[in-house]
A and B are shown apart, each in its own frame.
Chain A
């Protein structure tokens, strides 16, 4: 079996990590907002993380050694920390892991290259617009109904780019962007820029003058943690790279297309993996010589133009690559001949464009047509087809998986087809919607099939509770004709942890759609039962999931899944991070604040989840850590009751905050977050 040398793109998995017994409420750390969500490299920035269960946070950790963080303070709802960014830190998004004794969580942090500032309210009307000197990077928050106005000046013929980084960076902000003239007329507008909800505008001004930029929540949506990072200016902006990949050790000349490229000073591959030399540059195109180092591992890297607005994707692979000259493969009757394996990098530069490649096989052969476009951030939604010598279409594929509500879509086709006999065949690629544009780039890999499988763990972090069996889902995906069972197991188990191997049969997991129809996941889900002994020692480390079949062994990678923004992707760390902790006997879910005036009473609803299974005693609820003058009365909570009510009375004004505790037979078995008391409106 030839192992897969390149596996860029992957299966998708559900973010389900379940406890085998009674479901544990989310008492592990959850990050809801980070502000500012980035900083300029070479600087230090104080950030605030907001969320739940953040108490006792002891560390914020980056994978990149160029980024460090120090926790300054931590409460259940908020962590403050100082992040130091080395001048050598790679621009772009980085995983930021929060570590606490009861679990861990991942957020994102963006490294920028220009000086940053924070928007200043009030800036809700054009008359209050803030100046926006270029290059600009503004960190802002969009509350509900909030409008942030910025004023700028532009010269006739000048091209400016505006980019709002929000959902791509883990924020739940659904932002929109409008460029207005001085009279308030809308010149350009962007809400969702293609595959993500972040707006993005490029605009060439016809007249010299003053203009306004408006950032706001789509339909005025917003929240206290809905942050954004607005980048704007005349900086170089690379939209396409062709070829968008190269082989290790091979020098390659790549063409960058975009705007404001005339002064592009150079490019950097990944985290300083290689430097590219600019050979020629015009406003819209630059050529760069780049040598991928021989030791570079296959995978997707970011290509950073120096001081550029955004990075572009660049793939290191071991297959021969070539750039398709514009229009050279447009004919079905006269396709461009290629030899397998090969990666064609092309642009569908006009509507209805389709590129065709002819190849030969010497006998019956299973071949693969694999397109990469949307997963690399390009606009093309590819469709591939395979034709025989007579022009008959043998097979086609559009989307391997669409968004069925169970899992996100994978719109880049991966067609595997058995050719019946030796001969000349033609592979075709086009945009599925017949669109075309100079930015419609694709990478098409044509090769013989290499049957293989891959594994993914959904989620990056998990808390395993002592004395309980915890379930973790692993998705096994069979590739290019692999049709054998795969045994999934966990080697190198920590003390006190046990898990039985599970066999994934070669059959995709079915599920029922909302109308009762049957769908299949893109692979087979297996449930790994992780049992933690009551006396298992503390652990803050990793679990490695592996799969083996017919002598082939693969290690599972982890993927994050951000349900609120339906965002899925590879985590920087390969393995699932686990924390072993004690589950409390009862979890008390309470609101973060309660309105209560002096000499008034109020009802506090407490959701009680009992994890002390099998115990029949009732619970007593009480308050703790309360300031003088706050009293509470409550009836015992029977074992089967999940909703209780405390009557509170305040005899003093603004008595501060308090905690609800649950006692069983006098012993505290659960404790709520602090509840802030505030005066009624």
Chain B
């Protein structure tokens, strides 16, 4: 087992039974994250990125696959063992409105993980820790007894971050933590999360649909399409040398706030096809501008195109 690896996900699947058949939300996904690094998971709505985050934390029970956290397969843990493990693996949610209990004050929300996990049992010491955590995330002490509905989105998201930080996790899944926020607030939160990573040595899995944010924030990026990782590389490499036609289209679709940088836009046909009982072919084939016979015959495996750069596409195969 590699000492540097914090998380290793192997063949993770999460299927949902629906009336029209099996929905393959996450379909055979594997990756690793090193300690102190950030893996960005990018994809459009319905690609399974949020389900992936929840399946890793077992907020949704995985259908199959292994999740090694510090070398231990947490997919095999009993419910009670998993519950004890949760303080080390946390999550920050997208919606700062629905992710906070409207009937709990800020201090109650932040203190809860400390109390439930028996980290600090003394009431007074717990309050000290709450205040300390509030300061770290930039929440003024006077807000301690306010309720979420009295606060704006940015402050609420800080509460969500404080709640995740309080039990002292090593790993945090960030599920679109800034998409509901205004740009000026978004930058505040992104900077905060980055500072926290540096000072506390956190490891992030950063789920988002926003490519410019993920590029700024992540060391490595995995692009998901219909439950699969279709391309994975370092951020630098992925943005300068994208290989998969979907990644290329995705990158070209970002509206750039610069009037001198006109990108050649690749327009995709149609929309994402159904994730229910997908046939054995490239899942992107129906929208792909380079679709070949081979693509419709079988699904291309994820292979290493250059060092550390993985892609699942027949176009880039040197055979």
The answer to whether A and B come from one shared complex is no
